[in-house]
Amino acid sequence: MASGVLAGRSHSVCMVSDFFYPNMGGVESHVYQLSQCLIERGHKVLVVTHAYGCRKGVRYLTNGLKVYYLPLKVMYNQSTATTLFHSLPLLRYIFVRERVTVVHAHSSFSAMAHDALFHAKTMGLRTVFTDHSLFGFADVSSVLTNKLLTVSLCDTNHIICVSYTSKENTVLRAALDPRIVSVIPNAVDPTDFTPDPSRRDDSTVTIVVVSRLVYRKGIDLLSGIIPELCQKYPELHFLIGGEGPKRIVLEEVRERYQLHDRVRLLGALEHQDVRNVLVQGHIFLNTSLTEAFCMAIVEAASCGLQVVSTRVGGIPEVLPESLIILCEPSVKSLCHGLEKAIAQLRSGTLPSPETVHNKVKTFYTWRNVAERTEKVYDRVADEVVLPMDERLDRLMSHCGPVTGCIFALFAVLNFLFLTFLRWMTPDYIIDVAIDATGPKSAWTKQYFLGKKGRVKEQPPSSKNAQMERKEHISC
Amino acid sequence: MEERRYRSASGASIALRRRQHSASCRELAVRCPRLRLRSLSAATSAAWLAAYGLFALTENSMVLSAAIIVTLIGLIVYLHFMKIDQELLLVIGSLGIQVTSVYASGKESTTFIEMSQVKDVVINEAIHMQKVIYYLCILLQDPGDPQGVSEVVPLFQSSKPRLDCLIEVYKSCQEILEQRKTAPQSSGIK
């Protein structure tokens, strides 16, 4: 498969994000899956993130995906502290030794991603940024982050958003030219989310909710829906997976209406358990108040559930109308939508889980995402990186007189720092890292030994495994 | 015996000397650049100038004598405990691996690892200060678990040779380690 698609250019991509495994979440799996599919397409990919506990140094994952866990201080919510400068020596060293051509930063919450963009632009590398979240415009924190985003993105080569709503949001927040913003949705692994109708109890109707129990996910709406529908339909059951500060609200509702046997709160779920919860239900309910691209409803639809969701953010783009019932974010409208779904279920007009699964599985695949991302890289590779003077001009004209000037000064300082580092350790002193990526990597080749011995006898992964084990000891 | 010049991770010039005592005994030595007179005199004169400045301010001659003593002690400590001139790796197939560091003062510190403890010699990557470097290390066998590694002994810690030099050393070590592995097997099975 790899040789067939190798026709295009091969890029050396460095994914930078504060969020990567062993932390769990949407951005983490996005980075991992995208990297794997890009490796499959013949590119060299490495991931740079910060150290998680004792997991620091260099690690190798499947297919030789190299991960650098840099020892940077974590400030808040797994995001590193930023001074704009302190990460330059290490990042520069990595960019040089890996011969990186494209720096791809992920998530606007990640300080490290913004730092990497800043340094990459100083070093004259091409930059791509993927935004995974929606922001408001009104409160103080979003005004500040929007300003930072404007600064960070004004001279970035290309920006990727996960949905059209997210694109609109990002373009407005960061005052961007919409032509340099592409939309590439997320994907799900359809083999992880297969339907299993035998697991559900057809004598009842089960509504599944899987989300973090926070305000943003509309848990207050859910607490209004539960008593109303439970009174109307005696055979209705709720299955709620997830943990969060709003759990107490749901527990109160359960207590007040004596619904202990019909509303089950499962608490926090591991990613691999989500499918087992989903297949137990008939209807999936999503009550989010804001969402850039809702992975949960795709996963639910892939498991063959009828999806009922609020019409907010990028959700209307995600699934075709036949697979989803969209409602306004109010208790009344959501109840109406659920009643409609229950009526359809009873009359048997819903398509079977298998047909839904087969339909959904073609929508969002990682291979497709990788293909489209590759096009972005190809396009970016042809563009020129702004030289220093134009970059300063852009910063000052684009980001307002005060912020613009401050960050232009930072850019100059960063450049001076880089010049100093280049004087201290010139690029030719830095060893080029051995390319371990992909099926044709150095680990499978006869790289170290000219003779026919050991390397051939060992399975290709054993060297990595040794290194992996070694690091376990050292920490 | 052959000698080749390489560079260290920080750009300094180092020399790798290989000496073949017998088929299963090999000595590898990495020599760092010696302490240069220029840097020595620069450090000394900086310390003494500072002391003289302090003396001009306080007019206390104790400062000057203290400065002389401090530089002398500092130099001795540096030469005796910090500055490593040469790092030697003696691999004897039937016996073990001996790691020696020769300090600038002539002091030697030696560790010996028995061959039964040596699991493998590998090149690994690590983040060191503000750099990501390759280094060579000996993996020690975990006595409880035949697959496990109990400890990692990094080699050439002060000279930090670059990858091309490390690969040379790695190959030499592997040649001998391989003899060890094939020898008992062939006699045992056949």
**Same domain (yes/no): A263, A246:** yes
- A33 lies in the same domain as A120: yes
A147 exposed, middle or buried (CB, 10 Å; 0-12, 13-18, 19+)?
Answer: middle
Min distance B183 CA to chain A CA atoms (Å): 14
Q: What is the mean pLDDT of residues A154-162?
A: 92
Q: What pLDDT, on the 0 to 100 scale, is given for residue A84?
A: 84
> Are residues B132 and A449, on separate chains, in Cβ contact within 8 Å?
no
Q: Which residues of B touch A474 (CB under 8 A)?
A: 152
Tokens 């991509």 belong to which residue?
A: A13
Determine what percent of chain B is predicted with pLDDT higher than 70. Answer: 96
| CATH code for position A422 | 3.40.50.2000
Question: Is A443 within a domain?
Answer: no
Q: Does one domain contain both A219 and A149?
A: no
A273-310 in b/e form (b: 16+ CB < 10 A) is ebbebbbbbbbbbbbbbbbbbbbbbbbbbbbbbbbbbb
Identify whether A203 is part of a domain.
yes
Look up tokens 């057809």; give the residue.
A202
Residues 6+ apart with CB under 8 A from A329: A218, A221, A287, A289, A310, A311, A312
DSSP per-residue string spanning A300-362: HHHTTPEEEEE--TTHHHHS-GGGEEEE-SSHHHHHHHHHHHHHHHHHT-SPPHHHHHHHHTT
What is the per-residue pLDDT for A386? 87
Q: Is residue B188 included in any domain, yes or no? A: no
Residues B112 and B145 in one domain: yes
If one counts the domains in chain B, the total is: 2
* Element containing residue A115 per DSSP (H, E): helix A111-123
Same domain, A314 and A280: yes
- When CB atoms are compared, the residue of A68, A89, A434 closest to B130 is A89
Q: Is B108 on the interface with A (CB under 8 A)?
A: no
Residue of B nearest to A427 (CA): B11
Domain end point (choices B26, B48, B82): B82
DSSP A207: E
Residues B143 and B93 in one domain: yes
For residues B17 and B97, state if they share a domain.
yes
Residue contact A448–B167, C-beta within 8 A: yes
Contact B123 A433 (CB under 8 A): no
* The pLDDT of residue A463: 41
Nearest to A131 by CA among A157, A110, A154: A110
Instruction: For residues B111 and B139, state if they share a domain.
Output: yes
Q: pLDDT tens across A72-95, in order?
A: 888 877 788 877 899 999 999 999
How far away is chain B from the Cα of A78, in angstroms, using its nearest Cα?
A: 20
Q: Are the beta carbons of B124 and A449 separated by less than 8 Å?
A: no
Q: At A284, is the secondary structure helix, strand, or coil?
A: strand
Using a CB-CB cut-off of 8 Å, the residues of chain B touching A466 are 120, 122, 139, 149
| A117 occurs within a structural domain | yes
A116 with A177, same domain: the answer is yes
Residue A246 has pLDDT above 80, yes or no: yes
Residues B73 and B138 in one domain: no
Same domain, A341 and A400: no
Query: Can you give the residue range of the structural domain that contains A166?
Result: 12-187+367-429
Is the same domain home to A121 and A169? yes
Question: A199, A284, A200: which is closest to A241 by C-alpha?
Answer: A284
The model's pLDDT over A418-434, given as tens digits with 9 standing for 90+, comes to 999 999 999 998 989 88
Contacts of B6 in chain A (CB under 8 A): none
B53 min Cα distance to partner chain A (Å): 30
Lowest mean pLDDT among A55-64, A176-185, B149-158, B173-182: B173-182
Domain stop point among A429, A445, A466: A429
Alpha-carbon distances of A358 from A302, A362, A365, rounded to whole Å = 8, 7, 12
Q: Tell me: do A340 and A393 sit in the same domain.
A: no
- Cα separation, A185 vs B123, whole angstroms: 40
- Are B62 and B141 part of one and the same domain? no
B94 and B123 fall within a common domain: yes
Per-position DSSP letters for A415-437, written without gaps between them:
HHHHHHHHHHS-GGGSPPPP---
Shared-domain flag, residues B56 and B43: yes
Domain that holds residue B48: 37-82
In a domain, B47, yes or no: yes
Q: Are residues B62 and B136 in the same domain?
A: no
Nearest by CB to A57, which of B9, B10, B127? B127
CB A278 within 8 A of CB A193: yes
Rounded Cα gap, residues B12 and B161, in angstroms: 9
A93, B123: Cβ pair inside 8 Å?
A: no
Of residues B34, B31, B7, B32, the one with CA closest to residue B17: B31
Whole-model pTM?
A: 0.81
Residues A224 and A79 in one domain: no
Could you give the maximum distance between any two Cα atoms of chain A, in Å? 77
* Site from A99, A448, A452 to mutate, B interface, most B CB atoms within 10 angstroms: A448
Report yes or no: B132 at the A interface, CB cutoff 8 Å.
yes
| Interchain CB contact of B19 with A (< 8 Å) | no
Q: Are A389 and A276 contained in the same domain?
A: no
pLDDT band at A163 (very low <50, low <70, confident <90, very high): confident
Q: Is the Cβ of B7 closer than 8 Å to some Cβ of chain A? A: yes
Rounded mean pLDDT of A322-346?
92
Give a yes or no: residue B93 inside a domain.
yes
Residues B117, B175 within the same domain: yes
